[in-house]
Each structure stands twice: as structure tokens, then as C-alpha cells.
């Protein structure tokens, strides 16, 4: 009887009507309007320069896979990451097998998002595929024991920051957020982007798996955004933007977690953070598209790139931002700009970076 009451309380807590109405605040509405404005420009890019977007898409996939895994301390070298993405090599350790699994699910979302429903069965399939290159007994299964999100204090003490949904209530909780999502999308009262971000925060808070919750949340974010027409993540990595602002990401999660188990949490910090991430990706797409669409020479395009660069960039970052140019072309232009004193090189070997000379 106690378990039934607990699950019923969780179901009530996961109702979306109240949550979405509370998000209709000036700062959220303004951030949402900014994202919508950017989305309108992307439609023009798709219609006029699909070849450029296709090249940006391949770069974004690599960046997304690398960034989302690095957030969870899963990594390999840049060279091997690219070869794994292109399926030119076989994974050689656990990290690379996890990276290959992420690539597999990401490819599926990119290619078939409109045909993939948001259901518990799909979520389990994604999790199973995330671990398809590993012999993991927990792959494709809800967590079998209660878990906790812990934080290590400066003193070294490990404290519980947040207690997710109990294992016994997890299947029902996931079913409820899938149903709530479908209902709100069907009603069409609130922007699907807001509905999607509420779903993602609840997914993270439920923490439905023994392992892989962070990566699954980011994959589900892409699926929901793409299904609702917010496809910037195909061309500019949302995961990479989150990685760059990782501390703020965790702060937003923590702020919105307060009172979640009692149905009293404020989703605003997480939602505004994610709207900012998405808007930043759209802004990056605008600037990249502008550079790549310019009728000037490759050299002028690289000059403009450095003019707009705030800090410094590695050669790989320069190549990724200018995917229509070959590595040889970029290297030749970098040498010329360094000889002119227009660009300077800092660091050495793998730490080499370039910036606009002052």
C-alpha cells in the first residue's frame, strides 16, 4: 500500500499543466522569442545552401559525440574520435566503445527523428544501443536500485545533492512524463520547446538508469528538439555548447532540483539556461553561414574568422568552422597570415593555438 501511494504522489508531481504555466515569466518568454527568431533564419539556409549545411552537419556530429562523452569523463584522442565517427577503426577500449555507442544512437536520431516516438520503449532501446559495443547487463533496463546524485565538497566529504525517483517507481514515472509530453504537444497551448525542456529536466531528475543518464538526457534533448522543428543541433553541437558552460549547466540543474521530489521546484533556471544554449548555437550557425556563404576568397574568409574570434582556436577548430576548405588550404593561409603578422601562434605541439595578433 505504501508503494502505491508513493507512486501516485509521483504521478501527481509530474503533471505538466502547472509547471508550464509557471514558466510564462518575462525572462523565459524573451529567451524563447530569441530562439524562435533565429529558427526562422535557419529555414532560409536550408532552402538556399543545403551543401554548406551538410558539411556543418558532419562536423557537429563529431563535436557532439566528443563533448557529450567528455562531460562524463569518457574520451579518446581527436584523431581516433574522427575515425570512430567515420567507422574507419574498431573501438580499442571501454571509452571508445561507449563513444561508438553514442555515435550509433546519434546517427539514428539525425536520420529518423520524425519517425521515432517519445515512449518508454524507445528510451530503453536508445539505452540498449548506447551500450551496444559493451557487455553490460544493465543496458536497456531501468535501474534496479535507488541511486543518488552526489557532490564532493572541498573538504573531500561526499554529500548527496539530490535523491532521484526510487527504482520501484521509475517505470511509472517515465511513462507519466511521456504521456504528459504527448498530451501537451497535442493540446498545442505551449511552445513545444518549453514542453521538451520540462520533459528533459524531469528525465534527469528521475535518473532512470544505473549508468548513462547524462548522455541519454542529451540524446533525448536532440530527439525532442528535432521532432519540434528546432534542428540547430544538427549543424552546431548543442553538447559542445553545454560542455563549454558545464559549471553553469550543473548550477542550473541544482537550482531547479530544489523541491523537485515534493513537486515544488522552479524549472526556470534550467529552462532559461537551455534556451540560452540553443540561442548561442543559432548565433554560431548565423556567423558560420555568413562566413561560408561570402563570395570572397578563402583567405578573406579566414581573416574574417579571426576578426570575429574572441580568444584563440586550434587548427581543428578552424577547420571545423570552415568545413568547405581542405586542411592544406587552411595551413597555407595560416602560414601566410602569420608571416604578415595578422595571426600569431601560441603554444606548441598538441597545445598549438592561433589568434588575431594585436
Structural domains of the chain, ranges and CATH numbers in brackets: 2-291 (1.10.3290.10), 296-356 (1.10.10.10)
Reading phi first (left if > 0) and then psi (alpha if -120 to 50, else beta), residue 347 is in left
**Mean confidence (pLDDT) of the chain:** 90
Of residues 50 and 304, more confidence is placed in 304
CA 57 to chain centre: 14
Of residues 252 and 40, more confidence is placed in 252
Computed on alpha carbons and rounded to an integer, the radius of gyration of the chain in Å comes to 22
pLDDT of residue 2: 41
Per residue in 14-43, pLDDT tens? Answer: 778 889 999 999 999 999 999 998 888 777
- Check residue 352 and report its DSSP letter: -
CA 328 to chain centre: 31
Of residues 49 and 204, more confidence is placed in 204
Query: What's the pTM?
Result: 0.86
pLDDT of residue 165: 95
Sequence-ordered alpha helix ranges (H) in the chain: 2-13, 16-22, 26-48, 50-71, 78-85, 94-112, 120-130, 170-187, 192-206, 213-227, 238-244, 246-257, 268-293, 298-308, 315-321, 327-340
Of residues 353 and 11, more confidence is placed in 353
Percentage of the chain beyond pLDDT 70 is 94
pLDDT of residue 248: 96
Residue 324, C-alpha cell as written in the block: 568547405
- What stretch of H or E contains 156? none
Q: Say what angle helices 268-293 and 26-48 make with each other, to 10 degrees.
A: 30
Sequence-ordered alpha helix ranges (H) in 23-73: 26-48, 50-71
CA 284 to chain centre: 15
Per residue in 70-81, pLDDT tens? Answer: 999 999 998 899
Q: Which of 232, 192, 235, 220 is nearest to 39 (CA)?
A: 232
pLDDT of residue 1: 39
- What stretch of H or E contains 343? strand 343-346
Q: How confident is the model at residue 6 (pLDDT cuts 50, 70, 90)?
A: low
Per residue in 85-108, pLDDT tens? Answer: 999 999 999 999 999 999 999 999
- Are 27 and 194 a contacting pair, CB within 8 Å? no
With vertex at residue 57, the alpha carbon angle to CA 46 and CA 276, rounded to the nearest 5 degrees, is 80
Q: What is the 3-state secondary structure (H, E, C) of 173-229?
A: HHHHHHHHHHHHHHHCCCCHHHHHHHHHHHHHHHCCCCCCHHHHHHHHHHHHHHHCC
CA 38 to chain centre: 18
Amino acid at each position: 500500500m505504501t508503494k502505491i501511494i508513493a507512486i501516485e504522489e509521483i504521478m501527481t508531481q509530474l503533471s505538466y499543466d502547472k509547471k508550464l504555466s509557471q514558466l510564462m515569466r518575462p525572462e523565459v518568454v524573451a529567451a524563447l522569442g530569441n530562439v524562435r527568431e533565429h529558427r526562422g533564419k535557419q529555414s532560409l539556409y536550408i532552402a538556399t545552401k543545403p551543401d554548406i549545411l551538410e558539411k556543418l552537419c558532419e562536423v557537429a556530429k563529431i563535436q557532439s559525440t566528443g563533448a557529450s562523452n567528455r562531460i562524463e569523463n569518457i574520451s579518446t584522442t581527436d584523431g581516433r574520435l574522427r575515425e570512430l565517427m567515420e567507422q574507419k577503426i574498431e573501438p580499442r577500449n571501454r571509452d571508445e566503445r561507449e563513444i561508438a555507442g553514442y555515435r550509433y544512437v546519434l546517427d539514428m536520431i539525425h536520420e529518423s527523428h520524425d519517425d521515432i516516438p517519445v515512449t518508454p520503449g524507445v528510451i530503453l532501446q536508445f539505452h540498449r544501443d548506447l551500450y551496444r559495443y559493451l557487455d553490460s547487463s544493465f543496458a536497456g533496463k531501468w535501474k534496479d536500485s535507488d541511486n543518488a546524485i552526489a557532490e564532493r565538497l572541498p573538504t573531500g566529504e561526499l554529500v548527496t545533492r539530490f535523491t532521484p525517483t526510487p527504482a520501484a517507481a521509475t517505470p511509472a514515472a517515465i511513462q507519466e512524463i511521456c504521456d504528459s509530453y504527448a498530451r501537451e504537444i497535442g493540446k498545442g497551448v505551449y511552445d513545444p520547446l518549453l514542453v521538451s525542456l520540462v520533459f528533459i529536466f524531469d528525465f534527469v531528475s528521475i535518473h532512470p538508469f544505473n549508468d548513462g543518464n547524462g548522455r541519454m538526457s542529451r540524446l533525448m534533448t536532440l530527439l525532442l528538439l528535432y521532432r519540434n522543428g528546432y534542428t540547430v543541433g544538427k549543424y552546431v553541437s548543442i553538447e559542445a555548447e553545454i560542455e563549454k558552460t558545464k559549471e553553469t549547466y550543473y548550477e542550473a540543474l541544482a537550482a531547479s532540483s530544489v523541491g523537485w521530489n515534493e513537486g515544488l521546484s522552479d524549472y526556470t533556471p534550467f529552462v532559461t539556461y537551455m534556451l540560452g544554449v540553443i540561442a548561442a548555437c543559432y548565433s554560431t550557425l548565423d556567423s558560420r553561414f555568413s562566413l561560408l556563404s561570402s563570395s570572397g576568397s578563402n583567405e578573406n574568409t579566414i581573416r574574417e574568422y579571426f576578426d570575429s574570434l574572441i580568444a584563440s582556436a586550434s587548427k581543428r577548430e578552424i577547420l571545423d568552422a570552415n568545413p568547405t576548405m581542405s586542411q592544406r588550404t587552411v595551413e597555407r593561409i595560416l602560414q601566410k597570415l602569420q608571416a604578415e603578422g595578422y595571426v600569431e601562434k601560441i603554444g606548441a605541439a598538441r597545445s598549438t593555438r592561433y589568434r588575431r595578433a594585436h
